[in-house]
Structure 1
Amino acid sequence: MYRVKQLDVSVDLASFSRWLREQGVGHRITEEGGFQVLWLENPDHAAPVLEALDRFLLEPEMREAVNTTSQSPVFVGGRWQPSPRHAPLVLGIIVLAVVVAWVTGMGSNQASTLLMMVDPQNYAWDSLSARVDALRETLAGGEIWRLISPDFLHFSWTHIIFNSVMLWFLGSQIEWFDGKVRLMGLFVFTSLVSNGLQYFVSGPLFGGLSGVVYGILGYCWLSQRRYPRFQFPPALVTFAVVWMVIGFTPLPEMLGLGRMANEAHLGGFVAGLALAIVWPPHRRAA
């Protein structure tokens, strides 16, 4: 724990403490010699937390916003538990992915070729130059949707369930705190980068929301360090990065998990980090 602020015991910090907890900021408030002391688990949170605390102490509207947020319907017992109405855009993406999985028979029938970056039956894609030419001809023919549509292809129920759970948990927080426009921008940007990188490296036979999920995770992790508001265990990032590295080894195939879209994972994660840097969110209390 890192000591960051000492205040008189007469200052009521109960609602501010609840608000910090709901933003996922690990902290503790202790009493020492007639004063109360605010401690933080992560020293990187000190600057934004002190800024928020100063506003909380000086601005009545900030205190009112904090009190309102502390009673937010998306938090239950201090934990992030939104309902579908709190993140309709994320829910729509998940529903569309499930429908596509059903229509394409988990990527096993002819309909799935309509969603790949290029139709693998109509173009050669055995070299980088061939893949570039195939994509150029496909886009020139007006099939722009193929840049995004591989996100909705999945090849097993385990695949789509895992992606959906992660997208709901993290994506719903972005939609709630940062807004639908930012979530949509993040979705499109990470899709373009992850799908493009995967296609140019290995060809069109891939699919899934994993690249977007990695992008959202990268965005949440870096943006959270600059402006705490999201709630997720820090170990999640470590696990995801380790799993991404393992994907570049033969281990997943040895375990019978098949080949992973490693370049999509890497591209999405880097794209999410980049967006967190170049498009910082507007700070707000809710």
Structure 2
Amino acid sequence: MIPLEFADKLFRSALLSLAGNRAAEAFALKYGLRLGAHKFVAGETLTEALEKIQRLNDKGIAATLDHLGEGVTRISEADSFREEYSRLLIGIRESKADCNVSLKPTQMGLAIDPGRAYDNIKQIVKEARSMRNFVRIDMEDSAYTDDTINIVRRLHAEGYLNVGTVIQAYLFRTEKDIRRLSLEKVNLRLVKGAYKEPKTLAFARMEDVNANFREIIAARLRSGIYTGVATHDEAIIDWVKSFVKEQTTPYSSFEFQMLYGIRTQLQETLAKEGYRVRCYVPYGRMWYPYFVRRLAERPANVLFILKNMIKH
């Protein structure tokens, strides 16, 4: 019999390999939203996404809005994403949504022209600051970890404090990054990690990832610097609740973060219990890579899609 942990790795690896499969992407983009991708993606337009955010806000749940797109190949594409984020920020302000924004550095051109990418990101952060909003620079795979952290540190050094990033618990380097960014008082979202990484860079066993996740959460909560704990793992959530009670950590110093369409009832329950909760709301036409990562995280997500395919 194949060990459960090994089978889970094979499952995740097989699904993640589909992220670059053009035939699978073409099929998904043609039928995906109708067959169930709408569960994880708030729509293809900003209007659709803002409507979903209003429903979340009505339930006491804040949001972070992400216009999906990564790995652009032309700088003109990156400029288009920057322009969309300008419209996105205006849309948040006009709708009076309780919402900040998330973006990926590669969609701003990091893999093509790092200097231009920095300028694009800085413009968005500057516009957000003028609207009293916050920008989360998402973390992608390990090839971009250093560049992403350096962008945030540079922006902070230039006085843009309304920007933070994401730290992934499955990387060996994480503890060092946490220490440095905490000293610089950078707002962080802590996650387990969802990319396929080599054994030389990341923990292979989930129990090691979970142990490191708890350690970095504890370090951040003790620091008093605002932190987003991003997880759907109820064991981790219960551990955080016990930890903050024991440490008398104020609820105002952290928030739970979860993804749109996943553990919706749990999000509502936590909000009713008085915890700050923020939902990551993605939208846009380039949703396929994001969608594949959500499927790879849990077999139940795949079953949901298969059921919808059978229905149709």
Q: Which has the larger radius of gyration?
A: 1
> TM-score, normalization: structure 2?
0.23
More strand by share: 2
> TM-score, normalization: structure 1?
0.24
Q: Does 1 or 2 have the higher relative contact order (CA < 8 Å, sep 6+)?
A: 2
